[in-house]
Amino acid sequence: MLTDLLVIDGRMGRARYFRLSLLAMLLMTMGAILLVFPVVMSRTHGIELMPLGVSVVLAALQLGIGLWIAVAASIRRLHDMGWSALWLLACAVPVEIVALPAMIVLSLAMSVMRGMPGENAHGPPVALRAD
């Protein structure tokens, strides 16, 4: 499981991609809450739960780890489908009319489509690989 979080080469099946996507969303949501909640509490009620610098550093760390997991899982899933990882660049376009549909279409494709049945440039099929 640790190699799924760190490595971007190889292939990944739909079930593992789904689990890692949920983990990434959880980490990024918790990071966003950790970024906003202490600031709001200190400004509105004058309560400082932890130093704001510490909460910002912890939130940035959680957001970064969650983003890394999401990107690494997406790259490996695209490899399993036989697609190039360059498709993820469409999600990074700073225009919402391009990025949002690209994210929706790629997420649905990676969640629904089967991987290539045979070996491709990124390794053997996920079902035949010894984990």
CB neighbours of residue 20 within 10 Å = 21
Domain hosting 109: range is 2-128
Count of domains observed in the chain: 1
What's the pLDDT tens digit per position in 60-113? 999 999 999 999 999 999 999 999 899 998 888 888 788 888 889 999 999 999
Instruction: Find the DSSP H helices in the chain.
Output: 2-6, 14-44, 52-81, 96-112
How much is the pTM? 0.82
Please state, in angstroms and rounded to a whole number, the distance separating the CA atoms of residues 79 and 73: 10
List pLDDT tens digits, range 91-104: 888 887 888 888 89
